[in-house]
Each structure stands twice: as C-alpha cells, then as structure tokens.
Structure 1
Amino acid sequence: MKPAKLPNKDAYDLILEAIDVGTYRPGDRLVESELAEQFGVSRTPIREALQRLETQSLLTRDGRSLIVASLSHDQMAELYVVRSELEGLAARLAARHATEEEVRVLRAMVDEDRALLNDPHALARANRRFHKQVHLASHNRYLVQQLDLVHRTMALMATTSLAAEGRGQNALAEHNAIVSAIEAGDGDGAYAALKSHISVAFETRLRLDAVSYADKPL
C-alpha cells in the first residue's frame, strides 16, 4: 500500500508520517529510489530527508542500507520518563495560559473522539492531535519543540497502546480529566492528570509487549 502523495508536505514530513502510521515499521528498509517514486518527488529531497532522519536516530544503518530504527526496552522506558515530565509541564502551563477557545477545542476533541472507539488506529491519530493541542496551549515554544522531538521518536513503537481492550474508553476518560483541570485553571491537577495518563499508557504498552514476547520462540 503506497502512502498518499501530498505535494504540500516535504519529503521529511512524508517519510515521518509513513513511519508514524505504520506504513514503514521498525526494521523495514528504506530505499531512496522507491521512496521518490512513491511520494512523487525527486531523489535529492528524499536523500536529504533520510540523512535528517538518520541524524535524529529514527533511521539506522544496516550495512549500506537505512532501516527504520527500533527502541529497546530501556530506550522506551527512558522515553516515557521524559515524555511524562514534559507533558505534565505542558498541562500545568496550559492550565495557566490556555485561552477559552483552546479549552473549547480540547473539550470538543474529547467528545468527538468517542465516535472512534472501535477504530484504534483512528483513535491513535486523534490522541496525537489531542496531545499536540495541549502542547500548543502551554504557549511555550521551547517546550513544544522538545515535545515534538519526543513524539517523533514515539513513532518508532510498532503498535499503539490504544489497541488494548478497553484502553480507548479509559484514555478518553483520562483526557476528560486533563481538560477539566485545565479548564479549572488547576495547574497541579492538570500536571497530575496528564502524568497519570502517560503512566497508564506506558503500563499498557508493557503488557502488550509482554504478550508479544510470549508468542516468540526461545
């Protein structure tokens, strides 16, 4: 299945989005000529995009080939620690600085996303959109930049924790608690609610990984 050609996006964004949605998964080899054909762009911007992604450790070398990187257990744990603290800070700042319009948008996202509970992949995309909106509502450009880096690395996780049974419903309840705290101007509450949300997501992912390990031959 070829990714849709989106001429309004550059090669870097197209490849990153393809990794994010699972078109290319950890271990997949990325070939410059094939990517150029798939995305309808020349090989030069593809080459530059691949170099940039390698510099960011989203791609790694396997001989002369570039493959989508994968995260070890320790790397994933480290990533969640950083994500938890930064996201919690974003929520705390959003409680202080979010406009009424931004809060209404967050509230609408929670309400609208209930229609996606039977589609984990669509819910995962909506989840990223929700978190990005919280980041923006912090009104701190440097924090948003760091969170963008964290979320780019999250794309290296081959599955979404929202695929676990019942996780989608619980995640939306957690989103609702985050928005309520931001709406009330409760910085400590928003920080705690978002950190708890990330903690549950991490635990869910660990459980999913444990199941996948059990299915692999020794």
Structure 2
Amino acid sequence: MPLSTPAPTDAYGLILHAIDTGIYKPGSRLVESELAERFGVSRTPIREALQRLETQSMLTRDGRSLIVASLNHTQMAELYTVRTALEGLAAELAAQHAAAEEIKVLYDMVAEDEAFLNEPALLSQANRRFHRQIHLASHNGFLVQQLDLVYRSMALLATTSLAVEGRGEVALQEHLAIVKAIDARDGAAASDALREHLSVAFQTRLKIDAGEIC
C-alpha cells in the first residue's frame, strides 16, 4: 500500500508528502498561494511549513522563489554512505529484537509488493514502507529518528531506481533475503544483505545519472 497521507491540517506534512511522492520534484517552484489552494490550508501555516523545510535544506532559494532542492553527485554518494551504515545496523538489530509478528509483516510486505511491479511510483512508496518496518523492528528509537532524517533527504532524488526495467523484481528478491536473515536471527547476514541491496540500488542510480540506463 502507498504511504499514508498526512492530516489535512498538517501543512508541513502535506508539502513533504507531495515532495516524497513526486508531485513536486527537485527544481519545482513552490508558491505559497498555490499550495494554500491545493491543500485547502490558510497561507500562514503554509508559510511556516515552507520556512521549516528551507531550514531543513529540503527547499532552496532561486532569487526570491523557493524551489525543491536537489542532490548533486557528491551529496548523493554521501547520503548513500550514511544510509547504508544506519540501515545495516537496523537490520542487525532487527535480527536480534524483532518480534515474530514483525517478521511476519515483513514477509507479507514482500509478497504484497509484487502487485506494484508495473507501477514504479507505488513500488517506491511500498519500498519505503518495507525499509521503515525494518527500522522499527530494530527497537532502537534513536536509530529510527536518524533514519527518518535520511529518508526525508531521499525524497530529493529525482528518480527511483525501481523504475529501471527488471530492478523491481530483483529488489523484491533482495528484500526476501533480508527478511530471511532477520528470521534466522543472523544479524551479520541481515546487515550484509541490506548493505548489498543498497549497493545495487546506488549503482543503478549512478548508471541512470550517467545515461547508461533510463
């Protein structure tokens, strides 16, 4: 299932969700009056939300206008370095602490996400839900908090590697390998499987940027 929509009065959450789901992509100009009309929220909370997002580097200035920020090659590499380290730890801790019910949910997600193989945008959202479930299964609130920040920045990547032909099927196989390692309570294997999964995703993104694949 896609990510849940924020409350209709949560201007910050609504704008962030719109960026995360690709309604507003890197480079998109955000206009206060247009956002207020789109979301049915007054301009004051929209203005406050835009200021907050600019402070968080989700938005940047283009003259007097605010646009959705984008990540350059170096920033993307740095983001994947941090993401891989933190998610590897999350998978390791999930193998130690996840309840049987949490592991069952992960298995169910892998099976259910096959329905989105021909819909990259929905598969991308389902992918995020799967990874967040692993974060939560780590049972480490500080780690989850840091990964939330990482995933907020992931929204600044203009494309999803899951849109590449065949990548979705392979990604779900990689997800299954991660879950099996967690289920086996093998922290090292779970961490390695997740790190390898992200390594392949990063390589795919690099090839997209280099124009090798589209």
Q: TM-score if structure 2 supplies the norm length?
A: 0.95
- Give % identity: 70
Aligned to 1:186: 186
Q: Structure 1: how far apart are the matches of 2:49 and 2:8?
A: 15
Determine helix, strand or coil for the equivalent of 2:60: strand
Q: Structure 1: how far apart are the matches of 2:7 and 2:82?
A: 34
Determine helix, strand or coil for the equivalent of 1:70: coil
| Aligned-pair CA distance for 1:121 | 1.1
| Aligned-pair CA distance for 1:89 | 0.4
Q: What are the ranges of 5 or more consecutive residues in structure 1 without an aligned counterpart?
A: none
Q: TM-score if structure 1 supplies the norm length?
A: 0.93
CA deviations over 1:135-186 (Å, ceiling 9, x no partner): 0000111100100000000000111000111100000000000000001110
> Judging changes above 3 Å, is the alpha-carbon distance between structure 1 residues 9 and 147 closer, same or farther for their aligned structure 2 residues?
farther
Tell me, yes or no, if the aligned pair for 1:6 and 1:39 is still in contact at 8 Å.
no
- Confirm whether residue 38 of structure 1 aligns to residue 38 of structure 2: yes
Determine helix, strand or coil for the equivalent of 1:61: strand
Letter in 2 for 1:78: E
- What value does the CA root-mean-square deviation take over the aligned residues? 1.5
| Aligned-pair CA distance for 1:62 | 1.0
Aligned to 1:114: 114
Aligned to 1:84: 84
Q: Structure 2: how far apart are the matches of 1:78 and 1:161?
A: 17
Tell me, yes or no, if the aligned pair for 2:120 and 2:162 is still in contact at 8 Å.
yes
Q: Structure 1: how far apart are the matches of 2:98 and 2:199?
A: 24
| Aligned-pair CA distance for 1:116 | 1.4
Q: What are the ranges of 5 or more consecutive residues in structure 2 without an aligned counterpart?
A: none
Displaced runs of 4+ in structure 1, greater than 3 A? 5-9
Tell me, yes or no, if the aligned pair for 2:110 and 2:175 is still in contact at 8 Å.
yes
Give the count of matched residue pairs: 210
Q: Structure 1: how far apart are the matches of 2:105 and 2:30?
A: 37
Determine helix, strand or coil for the equivalent of 1:86: helix
Q: Structure 2: how far apart are the matches of 1:210 and 1:99?
A: 42
| Aligned-pair CA distance for 1:63 | 1.3
Q: Structure 2: how far apart are the matches of 1:183 and 1:13?
A: 34
Letter in 1 for 2:107: R
Q: Structure 1: how far apart are the matches of 2:161 and 2:7?
A: 31
> Judging changes above 3 Å, is the alpha-carbon distance between structure 1 residues 9 and 122 closer, same or farther for their aligned structure 2 residues?
farther
Aligned to 1:198: 198
Letter in 2 for 1:178: I
Aligned to 1:158: 158
